[in-house]
Amino acid sequence: MSAQKFLNKATIEFGKRIFGPKLRKEPTTLKESYAKFKYYQTSHHKYGLLEHDRMWDGDKKVSEAVRRLRISEPEVYDERGFRISRSINFDLKKMYLPQDEWTTYENDVPYLQPFLDEIEREQAETKHWKKVLG
């Protein structure tokens, strides 16, 4: 078992609980094929990062989602921190991970999505009640 598979174990299990057993399937449409192509054009997968690891914590929604992740899924939060610190380390050394540890499109888990959706719903509800109550 490679180190990458071990490090992302909690993240992948969390993704399977939320999104089902098949996180991403092979692209069947042109739009899905383009999304996969665009995914591999960036270099974040060569550092072992997931797409949601690249989200900026300066955004209020993202920082709140990360806070909720830390409370509800601490193992996933710890894996996120390790992936980010390891990628910074490799970037400073001008190196990439070995190819067998790169993140694949099919295993990239959008782990912040449930929290971001919940925050969007809460903000919409707050906006609605502010409008209703004046």
Cα 123 to Cα 134: distance, rounded to the nearest angstrom: 16
Q: Tell me the per-residue pLDDT of 24-35, one tens digit each, with 9 for 90 and over.
A: 677 788 998 898
Task: For 83-131, write each residue's pLDDT tens digit.
Answer: 999 999 999 999 999 999 999 998 899 999 999 999 999 999 999 999 9
59 has a pLDDT exceeding 80: yes
45 CB-contact burial (10 Å; exposed 0-12 / middle 13-18 / buried 19+): buried
Which pair of tokens denotes residue 106?
């099919």
Per-residue model confidence (pLDDT) at position 1: 46
Spatial contact of 65 and 112, defined as CB atoms under 8 Å apart? yes
* Higher-scoring residue by pLDDT: 5, 37: 37
Q: Domains, the chain, ranges and CATH?
A: 3-133 (1.10.1090.10)
Q: pTM for this structure?
A: 0.84
Distance CA 8, CA 109 (A): 10
Asked whether 24 and 105 are in contact (CB, 8 A), the reply is: yes
Sole residue written with tokens 């067998």: 100
Q: To the nearest whole percent, how much of the chain has pLDDT over 70?
A: 91
